[in-house]
Amino acid sequence: MDGSTDSSVEPAKKMSTRMGYQQNALKTFFAEEKYTDCTFIFSDVEIKAHKFMLACSSPVFESMFYGIMAQSTVKVKDINLENFKEVLEFIYFETINISSQEHAWDLYSIASIYLIEDLLEVCLNYINANLSISNLLLTYEYAEMFNIKDLKNRCMDDIVEYAIGVFDTSNYHMKGSTLACICKKMGFDVNYNPIPKIFQWAVDEIELSDDDSVEVTPESIMSLLKKEGVLKYIRYTWFLKPCNRCDDFLCQCLLQSVYEDFYVSLGKASGAPARPNHKNAISNQNSMQEYLQNPPRFWHHGSCRFRKDYKIAQRIDLQEDEEYVSSVSAIGGPVMIFGMMVDYGMHPVRHKDMDCKGSITVRLCLEGSDESIVPPTTMECLFFYNHSVYVTLKCPFLLEQHVLYDIRISYNAWVAVRNISVICYFRSNQLRDTRSHRSVMFYDTCGSPIRGLSFYAA
């Protein structure tokens, strides 16, 4: 070594020093409003800035300050002052702290007005990465307003796929056109009864209306749903499923008399059969039970994420109502579970049929507790031995981050067998949602009959 230094390093050092000085100077000029040459007026507050900096980031600002109608003073209306300051800071320093989905859309709105492409991209990246059950409706309506087709389609697909969770957890009051689009996309084959939620939306819409002369009646609800284009997409088959909360075909979550009147009005409008009276609530019990209890045998949600199977771990012999317990937790943030793929029992010795009628019950408890957090789900239908079945949860599970829960599964076969034998496989212990960077972790040391889960960021 001759003690000489690499001269190629020197320009890099000089460039770093120069950039550091420029950034510090910009911070000083912006904070102290030094050398400013344009002013934004918000009622009684003035914000000063530098034309050249703004023009470099936005063609709108360039035209505003250097175009034919150039001006130095701009009156700003319908834009939040604090959000506008944050946009200016982004233009100067290329950093911004987005705190929520609503905040991201506020910033996106300003960026779209002034065509600040870099900020538009930053906001969209945040919005896509932070989609959750509680903000899907909000995001869909903003995406529709700004004509962001990919995001709009993704949100609508997820809303329909996880509708029961969206309706139960979101406090956002959607537009009538949004509800109509959801109902249209749902079609006939839904896994629960959405009528109470549609009814509740109409009640809220009437109560939020400025017209105090309109009261909540079956007639006013029908009129509103027809006006908003919702009524024509409501299907009679939706009434053939019990409410997921009260577990009744004649929903007890709302005034029963109003619900029945609403059904009768809908029946007259759609040509559906008259509603059975309350005394014999299910007069067509056999056909209705057949519809409810015999979904396609191997159907499962397209959203179900599957664990990798490694090898057989053990066979467990469960007596009637005896439960298999699997511990899980949410990683990266809370998630909501909507359903799961579960292995059914082995073919019993000396049992000729390849299938049997029976049931699977799924419960969620805190670790070590036997008390259900939400009402349990019981699926009754025709099961094939040695196959898996997808169980749609009546009430979705909310898993808080880093809290340990027990998923409890019990089997019941309506045949003369003393127990049900289930093969448990060693399986991968983590299911990831790459979009939200959230995961569900399994703590199965002796194998598991749970093949997969449907879940979404909460």
Nearest to 292 by CA among 166, 379, 416: 379
Cβ(391)–Cβ(376) below 8 Å: no
> Which two structure tokens, joined as six digits, stand for 361?
């019950």
Cβ(88)–Cβ(73) below 8 Å: no
At 5 the pLDDT is 46
- List pLDDT tens digits, range 421-431: 888 899 999 99
Sorted by where each begins, the domain ranges of the chain are: 13-129, 173-293, 305-457
The domain covering 13-129 belongs, at the CATH homologous superfamily level, to Potassium Channel Kv1.1; Chain A (3.30.710.10)
At 135 the pLDDT is 93
> Which two structure tokens, joined as six digits, stand for 267?
């029946």
pTM: predicted TM-score of the whole model, two decimal places: 0.78
Residues of the chain with pLDDT under 70: 1-23, 31, 188-189, 191, 236-237, 239-302, 349-351, 414-418
Q: Tell the CATH topology of 305-457.
A: Jelly Rolls (2.60.120)
At 351 the pLDDT is 66
> Which two structure tokens, joined as six digits, stand for 45?
């507050």
Number of C-beta neighbours around residue 421 at 10 A: 16
- CA torsion sign, 445 to 450 to 451 to 455? negative
Number of H helices, E strands in the chain: 14, 15
